[in-house]
Structure 1
Amino acid sequence: MIEALGPLKAYTPDTVTDPKKLLDEFAAIRADGYAVNEGQMNVGVRALAVPVKGPGGETVAGLCIEAPAVRLGDDRIDDLITRMQLAAERIAKVATFDGPA
């Protein structure tokens, strides 16, 4: 599937351009329930993302934060992911009218 898109563009030295490695990353993201981008689009920038799920469990939106990597250190990732997941759950409740937020 990804191979059909042709060569993957490298935006930084850390951009994943190998289709197999990218598919492996997608599998890990699904298993973990969140994504961490380590300078793959912009050097020195880190991004965290979590899904917002619909009533059937499908991903209907995403919640992302991005900051200079020096301000988004390893010591903050677990706490921020937890807060983002809680926010995503609240958004899902409001967006799907599935109970109070």
Structure 2
Amino acid sequence: MFCHKCGTQNEEIARFCRACGRQLKNDSFVNNPYKKVVLVNCGRNKLNVIKEIRMLTGAGLAEAKNLSEHTPSTLTENITEAEAMQIKNTFEAIGATIEIR
């Protein structure tokens, strides 16, 4: 759950914020509006997945190859749900498996 005081994302069963120590109450919880895009599997077309990773993150070839080989790997964080869905659709069109968390 989300702490209003410091903005830290905590586990759902947490009673206290792990960063600031503030006691969390049910009314202080808010769902985090930002999402994270995670590459779960490249599928058969690894070369196109590497190209998309490079376009998305601006990473070099070696970094993009490393992200594609060591799955699950986080591609982007703190983006809106609409942006996350657009990225997911792009990667799934080329055969990759993507999760939005």
TM-score interval (norm. to shorter): under 0.3
TM-score where L is the length of structure 2: 0.23
TM-score where L is the length of structure 1: 0.23
